[in-house]
Amino acid sequence: MMDAVNTKHIYKAAFLITGIISLAACRKDLLVTVPTDRISTGIYWKTDVDATNAANAVYTYMDGVNLVFWDGLSDIGHFNTTGAAFAPIDQGVADAQNGEFAAQYTTCYKGINAVNNFMANVDRITVTNATLVNSRRGEVRALRAYFYLKLAGWFGAVPLVTSNITIDEGTQLTRTDVATIYDYIGKELDTAATLLPNTQTDKGRITKGAALALKARAMLYAGRYTEAAAAAKAVMDLNVYSLYPAYKQLFTYAAENNSEVIMDKQFVKDIYSNNIFSSMAAASLASSVAQVVPTKQGADEFEMANGKAITDPASGFDPYHPYDNRDPRLHYSIYTPGDTLVNGKVYNPIPGSGTADAIGGGNLYATTTGYNVRKYINPEDLSAPGNSGINIIIIRYPEVLLTYAEAKIELNQLDQSVYDAINQVRARPDVNMPPIAAGQSQAQLRAAVRHERTVELEFEGLHTFDIRRWKTAETIYPGPIKGITYVKGGVLTTVVNSSFIRSFNPQRDYLWPIPQQEIILNKNLVQNPNW
């Protein structure tokens, strides 16, 4: 969570130092002259500042706006345009040549290469501040674990590269089994945590809490529930993080660097900006297409304010007024018909409404479901929607609480701490949902914590990974895309996009394919099943 001034200097240095990262990956016998267009490793790696700048370069490979995109590959979201490279993945018709598979794979390994280069050279500097340099070591090692966690989640077994290698060596790599990848992730994050402080002066740098929270996430994904619960508890016991009182403000400029942000990617307008507004806002707010829109499943997951599911006959749900008396997080996360947009106008996507947001109204940028994502959409970005400076959150404290609860539930350790963790999330002042009642079975609590993760963390890049590790994607994902239900001629009518049919092959789609270009370059890489 770097403040604006610190972020400005960090990213300027990061762009400069990226050239060093690339240069150091080359074979030493090719460095026969001192380059004039970049900094040579022959004159770099001298001071603490060099270590800081090289660590800064690694941060540029962290995820940003694409986190929101990932939930478009789940039941709660949908890619709003078939022109996007993600759309074939969303439909289940992509092949191993799809550019998004390659982009994720390549970006992760670029980040890993940057870390490996840092670790290969950092001991060359003359250290004047050992605490600072050790922190930088911890930061980059935690980030390397983060990159491997994404690779394991998307692709399963991948090559484990922990030091600089030559191009020739790169073409001989084999895939390391995913259990070993998770072993490595856990050990790296343990080591990183010992090197890192609880807080950083430069907001946005990895902290001890971030390393431990990443370990909790990784071990949950690996099904190592004892380790997941322990890592989550370690974050809780730091007493550094707490729930921010207003969920409604969590994704606004006013709430940046708040008490529950554990790890984020920092942005600054005009210096290092993002396009979250132009990529996700309603059509009437921005002249760009909303890449991902919520689905009926995503909206219906939110309970009534009394804590009952809308499918419960006793819930009081009124299909003619479907968005009244709901879990407040529905309106904080999703734009539903009748909500007020950040420009002060009423959101009206109903077919035939004549607004820029109307479904089927001729505006190619309009939502196809009648919903739009609300998180990160702020009035400060109305005038320059492609130049947003809002920070993108990677880990929030509620995820840690819910990871702790889920891990304990899977271990069948159904003590009071499980209820406390879930209910703490539900009891946020401007959410104030009824607590989960005591005395529930493992199956009931499993359903409760999965629900809570879904609604609390919608469009934060976690749900797609969740439905894959839960092995529920094959059941809840396939079929046509459904949207809002509205009154048409006195009859309740649900929007159904029957031209976009999702499929999910459980024998194939729980893992992405190794990108075809990698298979071509390296004959030792074996493709994932059925790709």
Confidence band of 445 (pLDDT split at 50, 70, 90):
very high
CB 300 within 8 A of CB 79: no
For range 151-163, the mean pLDDT: 97
- Lowest-pLDDT range of 2-6, 472-476, 501-505: 2-6
Confidence band of 85 (pLDDT split at 50, 70, 90):
confident
The β-bridge partners of 289 are: none
Give the per-residue pLDDT at 9. Answer: 44
Give the per-residue pLDDT at 27. Answer: 39
Give the per-residue pLDDT at 29. Answer: 41
Distance CA 405, CA 417 (A): 8
Place of tokens 């762009």: 15
For range 129-134, the mean pLDDT: 97
Residue 32 has pLDDT above 70, yes or no: no
Distance CA 480, CA 503 (A): 9
Residue 10 has pLDDT above 60, yes or no: no
Phi, psi of 460 (to 5 degrees): -120, 15
The residue length of the chain stands at 531
Query: Hey, is 488 helix, strand or coil?
Result: strand
Q: What is the pLDDT of residues 277-329, one digit of tens each?
A: 999 999 999 776 789 999 999 999 999 999 999 999 999 999 999 999 999 99
Distance CA 501, CA 520 (A): 31
Give the per-residue pLDDT at 207. Answer: 98
Question: Which listed CATH number (3.40.50.2300, 3.90.1170.40, 1.25.40.390, 3.40.50.620) goes with 4-64+95-261+510-521?
Answer: 1.25.40.390
Residue 531 CB: number of other CB atoms within 10 A?
17
Residue 81 has pLDDT above 90, yes or no: no
Q: What is the pLDDT of residues 363-373, one digit of tens each?
A: 888 999 999 99
Residue 478 has pLDDT above 90, yes or no: yes
Confidence band of 86 (pLDDT split at 50, 70, 90):
confident
Q: Which residues does 465 contact at the CB level (< 8 Å), separation at least 6?
A: 70, 153, 221
CB 105 within 8 A of CB 518: yes
For range 335-349, the mean pLDDT: 97
**Predicted TM-score (pTM) of this structure:** 0.92
Place of tokens 């999702």: 502
Burial degree of 374 (CB within 10 A; 0-12, 13-18, 19+): buried
Residue 66 CB: number of other CB atoms within 10 A?
17
Residue 402 has pLDDT above 70, yes or no: yes
Residue 83 has pLDDT above 70, yes or no: no
Phi, psi of 501 (to 5 degrees): -110, 125
CB 157 within 8 A of CB 174: no
Q: What is the pLDDT of residues 405-417, one digit of tens each?
A: 999 999 999 999 9
Dihedral (Cα; 297, 301, 302, 306), 10-degree rounding: 130
Residue 28 has pLDDT above 90, yes or no: no
Residue 260 has pLDDT above 60, yes or no: yes
Give the per-residue pLDDT at 357. Answer: 96
Higher pLDDT, 449 or 85: 449
281 closest CA partner among 390, 337, 357, 364: 357
Give the per-residue pLDDT at 21. Answer: 42
Give the per-residue pLDDT at 40. Answer: 61
On average, the pLDDT of the chain sits at 92
CB 164 within 8 A of CB 120: yes
Give the per-residue pLDDT at 418. Answer: 98
- Lowest-pLDDT range of 3-17, 186-200, 472-486: 3-17
Query: Can you spell out the DSSP letters for 161-228?
Result: --S---HHHHTT--PBPHHHHHHHHHHHHHHHHHHS-SS-SSTTS--HHHHHHHHHHHHHHTT-HHHH
Q: Which residues does 48 contact at the CB level (< 8 Å), separation at least 6?
A: 125, 127, 128, 129, 132, 133
Query: Can you spell out the DSSP letters for 56-114?
Result: HHHHTTS--THHHHHGGGSTTEEES-TTSTHHHHHHT---TT-HHHHHHHHHHHHHHHH
Residue 209 has pLDDT above 90, yes or no: yes
